[in-house]
Amino acid sequence: MVTTIRAVLFDLDGVMRHFADDHIAAVEARHGLDPGAIARFAFADDVLTPVVTGAIARTTWVHQIGRHVGNEQAAAEWARTPSIVDDEMVRLVDAVRAAGHRTAILTNGTDTVKSEIDALGLTPHFDRIFNSAEIGYAKPDPRAFQHVLDALELSAGDVFFTDDSPSKLTGAERLGMPTHHFCGASGLRDALRSRGVRI
């Protein structure tokens, strides 16, 4: 297939970095919370949307979580869950760039995402980092993807998007962007090659 892919857009969490589930479980056990209690509240749409669209700061969100579960210390420890970079994905990103394609991240993030990505050493591997908290719209809102297209000065068909959450792909697909449900580096590599990306 002849490709028109000029840029590849990657999700951050679950694609480029992964959080330590054992840390989360240990925090809840240590503080006598039901397993998953923090995440159920923290990631509920009405709680998460304000922080990932920049309406509130991450610190405010963490305080809300602490008040809800009745333990602000547990929420603070949960918010410090360590993450690791997927080294295989970094190599894939570098290969995409070496093949002449631009690379970017689009994440539903908070006001601390830039410093987090810098600390992980990911920034140099990407041409642009797009954060929903700065854009004002979060995936899967098509306006988040349109912001990326406008900033890159590319059309929808030029930008390939991958995310580990199928629901996040819908906004990109509505604009006509080619997408891939991320389940691992190998599958993504195959999907890119099927689009003519020579990696």
Q: Tens digits of per-residue pLDDT, 33-51?
A: 999 999 999 999 999 999 9
Q: Tens digits of per-residue pLDDT, 74-108?
A: 999 999 999 999 999 999 999 999 999 999 999 99
Please report which confidence band the pLDDT of residue 3 belongs to, taking 50, 70 and 90 as the band edges. low
**pLDDT average, residue stretch 8-28:** 97
User: What's the confidence (pLDDT) of residue 18?
Assistant: 97
CA-wise closest residue to 122 among 107, 111, 135: 107
pTM of the model: 0.95
CA-wise closest residue to 83 among 167, 180, 16, 9: 16
Q: Tens digits of per-residue pLDDT, 175-185?
A: 999 999 999 99
- Alpha-carbon distance 28 to 41, whole Å? 13
- Alpha-carbon distance 191 to 184, whole Å? 11
User: Residue 148: is its pLDDT beyond 80?
Assistant: yes
User: Residue 1: is its pLDDT beyond 80?
Assistant: no
CATH number of 7-18+83-194: 3.40.50.1000
The helix/strand/coil state of 15 is: coil
User: What's the confidence (pLDDT) of residue 2?
Assistant: 53
User: What's the confidence (pLDDT) of residue 4?
Assistant: 87
- Alpha-carbon distance 34 to 69, whole Å? 10
Residue 172 vs residues 4, 68, 141, 168, 179: alpha-carbon distances, Å: 16, 34, 8, 8, 7
- Cβ–Cβ under 8 Å, residues 143 and 130: no
Residue 69 vs residues 8, 19, 32, 52, 170: alpha-carbon distances, Å: 39, 21, 10, 21, 32
- Alpha-carbon distance 190 to 199, whole Å? 9
User: Residue 152: is its pLDDT beyond 90?
Assistant: yes
CATH 3.40.50.1000, the chain: domain bounds: 7-18+83-194
